[in-house]
Amino acid sequence: MALASGSSGNAYLVEAAGTAVVVDAGASLRSLMAAGERWGLPAERFACLLLTHEHSDHVANAGLFCRRLRMPAAATEGTLQRLNLATDCRSLTPGQTIALAGLAVTAFALPHDGADPVGYLFEHDNVRVVLATDLGHVPPAVVGHLRQADLLILESNHDVGRLWHGPYPWPLKQRVASPVGHLSNYQAAECLASLGDGCPKTVWLAHLSATNNSPRLALRTAKERLQSQGVRNIEIAVALRDRPSLCWDSDLPTGQPQLL
Ligand SMILES: [Zn+2]
Ligand SMILES: [Zn+2]
């Protein structure tokens, strides 16, 4: 479930067998709890807060979530050191798989300008969800993880033209476009086209910039690229920046994301 996705805040809920992991803490506590209730997941069922990296759009409410929901946190050592959270913390090593709330969770390193940023592969009953946002490019090792996804949540941060002609200061434009910045619509579309037909079955374009992108533009770029490649068996939707927007249930046969 996507609760918020963009440069102003990021948070997801991943549920298996009645318990859930909260991924990133960039949504409000009220929005997290309301979305959980709507999906039949009261806050007692939230087992852990998993963090991708220490940038504020991912951790703004990390302390609040852990304190109010009495949750431990898990992240890479570099991320934990930057945050210094006052809760039980579990350190994750990229490449290793751990058991967490009924899920097998594998962190994998991403090229981004945080201390030790990662994406995550979640597995349960042969269903795989992969989250990869905040990456400046897609290295081959990351492609291997993306290819396994039934649901892939992939960054499609900005339109290149809008970024360079837009209002950001020059150093920020350079940071966003750098190999350790954020993935453009074009890069995301190229990545999806390289993965092949029907693999993954469902894609959420995520972490869209409010200034340099729009849901319509991100979707059109991905769809046009996939059509030109002859890729048809893929459902694509856009996770909205500022409110709960998408939900995916592996038990539903269509694989279509549902609007929240
Ligand atoms: Zn970041
Ligand atoms: Zn971010």
- Mind listing the pLDDT tens digit for each residue in 75-95? 999 999 999 998 899 999 999
Strands 246-247 and 258-259: what pairing?
A: antiparallel
CA of 133 to the centre of ligand 2 (A): 7
Angle made by CA atoms 43, 92, 29, in degrees to the nearest 5 = 25
The tokens for 191 are 């990545």
CA of 117 to the centre of ligand 1 (A): 8
The H or E element spanning position 105 is: strand 103-109
CA separation for the pair 52, 188 (Å, rounded)? 19
CA of 7 to the centre of ligand 1 (A): 8
CA separation for the pair 174, 63 (Å, rounded)? 31
pLDDT in tens, 219-253: 999 999 999 988 888 899 999 887 788 888 887 75
CA of 172 to the centre of ligand 2 (A): 14
CB 217 within 8 A of CB 159: yes
With a cut of 80, say whether residue 199 has pLDDT above it.
no
Nearest to 191 by CA among 140, 260, 123, 124: 140
> Mean pLDDT over residues 143-161, rounded?
96
CA of 54 to the centre of ligand 1 (A): 7
pLDDT in tens, 93-124: 999 999 999 999 999 999 999 999 999 999 99
Q: Which ligand is nearest to the CA of 6?
A: 2
The tokens for 187 are 């890069």
CA of 57 to the centre of ligand 2 (A): 5
CA of 203 to the centre of ligand 1 (A): 20
pLDDT band, very low/low/confident/very high, at 29 (cuts 50, 70, 90): very high
CA of 181 to the centre of ligand 2 (A): 9
The H or E element spanning position 175 is: helix 170-177
Q: What are phi and psi of 153, to 5 degrees?
A: -105, 110
CB 192 within 8 A of CB 146: no
CB 135 within 8 A of CB 153: no
CA of 11 to the centre of ligand 1 (A): 13
Per-chain mean pLDDT for the chain: 93
- CATH code: domain 2-259 is 3.60.15.10
CA of 44 to the centre of ligand 1 (A): 29
CA of 112 to the centre of ligand 2 (A): 10
